[in-house]
Amino acid sequence: MNIYFRKIAGPIFNRAQKSNLGRKSINIVFLTRKFIWRFNNKTTAGVYLVKNIHKIFNTNPKLSYAIQIKKLLDKVNIQITDENFIFFLDEFKILSYNNIRVDNISIDYSRTLDNSLHDFKEFYSLKKVNNTKNIDFIQDQLDMIEGIELFILKIIDAIKNSNRQDKDKYIGFFENIINKKVTHFEEALQRILFYNQVLWQTGHYLNGLGRLDKILQDLYYNDINNNFLTKEEAFNLIKNFLKSLHSYYWYKSTAFLGDTGQVIILGGKETDGTYFYNDLTYLFIEAINQLQLPDPKALLRVSKDTPRDLIELSLKTMNTGCGSPLLSNDDIVIDKMIEFGYDADDAYNYVVSACWEPSAVGKGLEQNNINFLSFLKPLNNIFDNESEEFINSINDFDNLFETYKTYLKIEANNLIDILDDVEFNTDPILSMFIDNCKYNQLDVTNGGAKYNHYGITTVSLANTVNSLYNIKQFVFKDKKFSLTEFNNIRKDNFTDCDDLLEQLKTNPKHFGCDDEEIISLTNEIIEYLENCFKDYRNKFGGRIKFGLSSPSYISGGEIISASFDGRRNGEPFSTHISADLNNDYTELMRFASKIDYEGCKFNGNVVDLMVSPNFIKNNFEKFTDYILLSIKLGFYQMQMNVVDSKTLIEAKAHPELHTNLIVRVWGFSSYFNDLPLSYKDLLIERALKNERKLSF
């Protein structure tokens, strides 16, 4: 994710960008990290960078973004291989910027298939001739389009000079990008890859692919019905397409290897209530199943009408451990988007950002991962910073809860202040593919889009609920301690209090259990946070939406003191919507279905299951029934980490024996060997807890 960059690294980067020397230094740091990932060896990475340092080119940030794009694409080293599709990135060519880049967006690739570059150019040229109201915007669009066209012509020349046997076909594909709409399935895949390449090359990270089974449907069936393509040939094309997307995996990753945001949306509920799926829905999932790559990933939109065999194929794929597909429940998500203010057509056509945060494809600026909030931080701020006299004055749970709300509001207001200071870099590429920008003649970063919402993620809700309930029980109900005594034990990091620590961790009433008191406490906390945000409008009129799943469960926990749920100083927070000590999966789903996702609380709410592969294998039909019943019960979203503790422990000790072991990290999958030690340890700990007792 880009949360860390925006909060900490971003300002440093921006200052460095003001000088050529600063930009060069930052680029070297950036590339060093990428090459360490690529070669898995610091020495090799360093030698490679030194040998190629002369290839580094970064644009002048004083130029318009469109001119920078034009100059950058002109410098890109063209690479034509003998592989099926043409896809390449020049890691040494880096676009400069002065403010935050817009990322975490899926463009609507149907626009690229239905329009040529000349179609876009003609629109903007007519606007320019007809006394446009914003000549700077129009000129930026024309400059950027000219740069892309020149880039295509360079690629065509390189294909002509290559050894490819099918060069005439691919020359045609690239010529058509300039002057024709797509007419065949294979050509569509190549065009999507080209525009995806342009986005990555120009510094757009965490790129989603959108609803590929839907936007490719007509081209696929036309080719099939006209005997231009067989189903088997289409399947092989899809596998090669996914392999191309997986290439430069090391370069596309952000926080960790695998964190690319390359999510493919499949299936979905239609406006008439029927469930959309087709051959491509199955083919994409089966291709992911066969390839066993951590990236790209799939999200399957499901509803009560999703066919059983599609759920079975998805479960079979999940059980390989690849982490795909994540399931998103259209019966819940769509209604919440409409309640928030999305037009029905946009809500029914939703995609997600890099992980799972719903958004309207091709409709907005929507920055769904712009920052995060910790629910636990304000609670710990009370007990870390207030005087003993103040803490003693809290005489019952209601008083404590009201005090917590006051501190939560302070945290929310601090976050709002940060959001109000956000400045984005102009972005003519995204503006070409996002509705309303070209008609409003405004860049997407200047309010040109239809939707301009900010999305935040939240973390440590489970730790907060469990902490509050433990205080309620141990202090105010059972009166085992005074609040000050209990706090002193916590501040001492539960030293020599192992029995108490175990009681706090294993309280029968905890987040994730189907208990009215716990569910009520959970909903009251998130409803209060919603009230803190509901009147906010950013400078473009956009609102704040938040969700209950975040990648910050380790990094956020590292800076927070011990908590009353039995978590020690710096230990990780609980993961998403999960309850590792309660492995009754049905109860967890009942709990998740009773969380209130209304208002602005719909920005990704993932039930995270840790499951042993043998458990699914030995209970496959029952687990399929469980998923289908859970959809009807009303979970919001669900993902699985399918792996056993024995494999994880062995892979940590002997990584060479498990080079292809894939695990789910937060909203993406990664090779286990590529993860930091803290993530490996947390996965092992969660797997061990879940294997104590498994049941429905």
Q: What's the pLDDT band for 13 if we cut at 50, 70, 90?
A: very low
Amino acid occupying residue 382: I
Q: What's the pLDDT band for 644 if we cut at 50, 70, 90?
A: very high
Phi, psi angle pair for 608, to nearest 5°: -110, 110
* pLDDT of 12: 35
Q: What is the DSSP string of 31-80?
A: HHHHHHHHHS-HHHHHHHHHHHGGG-EE--TTS-HHHHHHHHHHHPPP--
Percent of the chain, pLDDT > 70? 95
**Mean pLDDT (whole number) for 187-208:** 97
**Mean pLDDT (whole number) for 418-440:** 94
For residues 14 and 514, give the distance between their C-alpha atoms in angstroms, rounded to a whole number: 48
For residues 203 and 97, give the distance between their C-alpha atoms in angstroms, rounded to a whole number: 9
Angle at which helices 217-225 and 279-291 cross, to 10°: 100
* pLDDT of 18: 44
Closest Cα to residue 215, out of 172, 258, 249, 181? 181
SS3 readout for 428-473: HHHHHHCCCHHHHCCCHHHCCCCECCEEEEEECHHHHHHHHHHHHH
For residues 611 and 694, give the distance between their C-alpha atoms in angstroms, rounded to a whole number: 8
* pLDDT of 692: 72
The answer, yes or no, to whether residue 143 has pLDDT greater than 60, is yes
Q: How high is the mean pLDDT of the chain?
A: 93
pLDDT tens digits for range 434-479: 989 988 999 999 999 999 999 999 999 999 999 999 999 999 999 9
Q: What is the pTM of this model?
A: 0.94
For residues 300 and 267, give the distance between their C-alpha atoms in angstroms, rounded to a whole number: 6
SS3 readout for 145-166: HHHHHHHHHHHHHHHHCCCCCC
The single residue listed with the structure tokens 């003649």 is 441
* φ/ψ bin of 344: left (φ > 0), alpha (ψ from -120 to 50), beta (otherwise): alpha
Q: What's the pLDDT band for 166 if we cut at 50, 70, 90?
A: very high
**Mean pLDDT (whole number) for 610-616:** 92
CA dihedral 340→344→346→349, nearest 10 degrees, is 110
pLDDT tens digits for range 473-518: 999 999 999 999 999 999 999 999 999 999 999 999 999 999 999 9
Pair 578, 548: CB distance under 8 Å: no
* pLDDT of 658: 96
**Mean pLDDT (whole number) for 190-213:** 97
Q: What's the pLDDT band for 192 if we cut at 50, 70, 90?
A: very high
* pLDDT of 23: 54
* pLDDT of 15: 40
The answer, yes or no, to whether residue 625 has pLDDT greater than 60, is yes
* pLDDT of 691: 82
For residues 50 and 318, give the distance between their C-alpha atoms in angstroms, rounded to a whole number: 42
Query: CA-CA distances (angstroms) from residue 96 to 67, 107, 139, 225, 249?
Result: 11, 22, 20, 47, 22
Closest Cα to residue 326, out of 305, 296, 349? 296
Pair 351, 421: CB distance under 8 Å: no
For residues 479 and 481, give the distance between their C-alpha atoms in angstroms, rounded to a whole number: 5
* pLDDT of 24: 56
* pLDDT of 28: 84
The answer, yes or no, to whether residue 131 has pLDDT greater than 60, is yes
pLDDT tens digits for range 294-308: 999 999 999 999 999
Q: What's the pLDDT band for 5 if we cut at 50, 70, 90?
A: very low
Dihedral sign from CA coordinates of 300, 304, 305, 311:
positive
**Mean pLDDT (whole number) for 117-124:** 94
Tokens of 191: 């065009």
pLDDT tens digits for range 56-92: 999 998 999 999 999 999 999 999 998 789 999 999 9
The answer, yes or no, to whether residue 8 has pLDDT greater than 80, is no
Which pairing describes strands 350-352 and 358-360: parallel, antiparallel, or unpaired?
Answer: antiparallel
513-548 in b/e form (b: 16+ CB < 10 A) is bbbeebbebbbebbeebbebbeebebebebbbbbbb
Dihedral sign from CA coordinates of 449, 451, 454, 457:
negative
For residues 124 and 361, give the distance between their C-alpha atoms in angstroms, rounded to a whole number: 22
Element at 93 (helix H, strand E) = strand 93-94
Amino acid occupying residue 676: P
pLDDT tens digits for range 652-696: 999 999 999 999 998 899 999 999 999 999 999 999 888 875 444
Percent of the chain, pLDDT > 90? 88
Distance of CA 18 to the CA centre of its chain: 30
Query: CA-CA distances (angstroms) from residue 82 to 164, 241, 287, 418, 423?
Result: 6, 14, 21, 48, 43
Query: CA-CA distances (angstroms) from residue 55 to 50, 199, 220?
Result: 10, 20, 41
